[in-house]
Amino acid sequence: MDLRNQILERVKTSGKSIAEISQEHGIGKTTIYEWLRESTGEAPQRDLIKLEKENKELKQIIGELTVQMGRQQKKGWQ
């Protein structure tokens, strides 16, 4: 089994994120995503769910920080 197939098998079975696996092998995440698309014809559902969750969490953090910054600016203007 070549390295590409070994990496794709780890992505599918290890439970690790693509980011973790790409770091371990020194291969870009984009490359692994391309390999997955080529092998399956679509993005893996598990990774899409993780990305959606992460995106939601980041938006929440940005919202909270924006509110905090607004409060601090108002305090500074008084």
Q: Which domain holds residue 13?
A: 1-43
Cα 13 off chain centre by: 17
Domains held by the chain: number: 2
Token output for 33: 């995503």
Averaged pLDDT, 12-17: 88
pTM, entire model: 0.50
- Whichever domain contains 20, its CATH number is 1.10.10
- Are residues 51 and 75 located together in one domain of the fold? yes
∠27-33-1 over CA atoms, to 5°? 65
- Are residues 10 and 36 located together in one domain of the fold? yes
- Are residues 23 and 51 located together in one domain of the fold? no
The DSSP secondary-structure symbol of 26 reads T
Please give the pLDDT value at position 44.
63
- Are residues 54 and 77 located together in one domain of the fold? yes
Q: How confident is the model at residue 41 (pLDDT cuts 50, 70, 90)?
A: low
Q: How confident is the model at residue 60 (pLDDT cuts 50, 70, 90)?
A: very high
